[in-house]
Structure 1
Amino acid sequence: MTDAAALDDLVIVDFSRVLAGPLATMVLADLGAEVIKVERPGVGDDTRAWGPPFDERGQPTYFQSVNRNKSSVALDLAVPDDAARVRELVARADVVVENFRPGVMDKLGLGYEALAAQRPELVYCSITGFGSGGAGAALPGYDLLVQALGGLMSITGERDGEPQKVGVALVDVITGLFASVGILAALRHRERTGSGQRVEVDLLSCLLAALVNQGSAYTLADAVGRRMGNAHPSIAPYELYPTGSGELVLAVGNDRQFGALCEVVGLGADPRFATNAARVEHRDALREALIAALATRPATEWVDALTAARVPAGVVNDVAGAFAFAEALGLGPVVEVAREDGTVARLTRNPIGLSATPARYRTAPPDLPAG
């Protein structure tokens, strides 16, 4: 391991707010990039007002989830003096990230074409809801809206229940990760050629790409997914089951695991369950048989027995339980970052492990500067 970080020679000017853009820039900041966050005077990033919950200082926890390792400046892009300061920042930047409505940065003279004409080596990342051209440019890019329009809610929830959103703004998270990959790819291209480029990601396209097997089921087989509760459309048993006490998740992905499951729970041989395809076809009968077998012991005992037999199984943790589980496994899920006022921010660790240039936690999420 060296004292240098992987991206410690990189300067990013970040005009983005809320989640997708700030997540992308925080990932790069954790890996060493200098990120300068440009915020609206007196208001700042929208998420500075999103609470509860609040930390011990009364600050919203949402903002702090994606803004560590950054500095912040409060500038009004419509004010000439502030706009001049912004251009000074951009003049030394390697990367610009923005998620304004399409056309806003162009009107401010900070669009890709204008900046690239002056600095061809600039990497410029734009994040939109539904693309920068056509009818999608005018649509508001909120995660819940994209989950609905992008099909995710149609396959999430109980079979006979209403469509459900995922418990976090997952589309924003996925988009932020795609954005960070695109930025790194553009920087690698610049290393080879000296030329920057525009990186564009939109929430809808990122969600469609993230539908993976549900997406390919439609594009390759014209099969439209539906809500199935906790069941899986292509694997069984792969869902939540009641037990003698508590609930158990089984994630059986192959025939060996299923054979071991049957041995542990005492389920006899049945030709209806001989292969995964057969188990999917007869999933209701399989579920009934497993519920009867699992009713004899509590979930925690089943987890111990099934894990010993190398059958993927677990209980349903709440968020506190999930962090405790990761801690018990030695994953160190929480990092502590000192604030300027002497308090400590406890934040989720960056999950990327690098043996020579690991993520570093230099500064806590910044307070909004006076401006």
Structure 2
Amino acid sequence: MKNITKIFLLLSCLSMYSCASAQNATQITQKTDELAEKMLIYQLSNGAWPKQLVGGAVVKYEMPLTDALLTKIKATTEMHATIDNKATSREITALVKAYKNTSNQAYLKAAERGLDYLFKAQYANGGWPQYYPDKSSYRAEITYNDDAMINVMNIMLNIVTKTNDFDVVNKSYLGKAEDAVKRGVECILKTQVVQNGKLTIWGAQYDQNTLKPAKARNFEPASYSTSESVGIVKFLMRLKNPSIDVKNAVTNAIAWFESAKITGFKFAKFPDGKDTGLIADATSTIWARFYDFNTNKPIFGDRDNSVKNNVADISFERRNGYAWYGAWPLNLIAKDYPKWQKANQ
């Protein structure tokens, strides 16, 4: 009887241990990340993410998921899929990181669905449109604006180099990413503007067929774009063993930035706080956001499709509602380029 009791107790302990182990294992596999969970809800049927929901509401992950918001998310179709304003690239990057921290397969699966979307959206010439599959208006243009295409290119390069947490994606994506980077770099090199036989920088968007610079919104004329060109150069600097063409692209872009800098002024609110403009500042070095292709002088667009040579001549609303000047190339010239130059002599 005592032996039977011992056996019963032993089996009970083993059973309890097994249950506890199973419960712990379940808890481990079900570990979640709050932001990633929300991103799963916002993901569109084609694997991408929107920057805005149906009705125009901007995607903000800090917003609570009310019934009304969930209804809007559900009603948002794949025609809202975009890489603008970091959409899709932001989510893929966050989900890969969340997977690495939690081992939650749902996050990796969602990230890889996002990658599938990016591969499908890339043009044969290597560029990416701002939106896909919506190709209305300027949404079909190859878009460097706000670093849209470069954000995607950095993801592709992360896959190739197995860096920034992208070593976790399926190995089948490696070859696809290598091809995407190759074609993307070719597109970047082809779209670098040549002026009087010399390479300069890039425009913010390009016609997807002719690869000629194109306008976007009325206040975004076809022009040199300094902010976006900084992002492009930084990406090119990430390439290992850069080709002569890549080296020339970087070197000439830096030279153009040097020639176009504006010293002794800053773009800020006037002392009365009512308007914005150029203010004398001996310590400041800035660049205009846009420069004319022919004169290399700053230009400024307005909502009426007009282009001015002075920021003071555009409407008050646009003058105070856009980053017309900035110090975007400053660290690139002072820190990044010398380091890159030394490493690639």
Query: Under a length normalisation based on structure 2, what TM-score does the superposition of the two structures give?
Result: 0.24
Of Structure 1 and Structure 2, the greater helix share is in: 2
**Greater RCO (CA < 8 Å, at least 6 residues apart):** 1
Query: Under a length normalisation based on structure 1, what TM-score does the superposition of the two structures give?
Result: 0.23
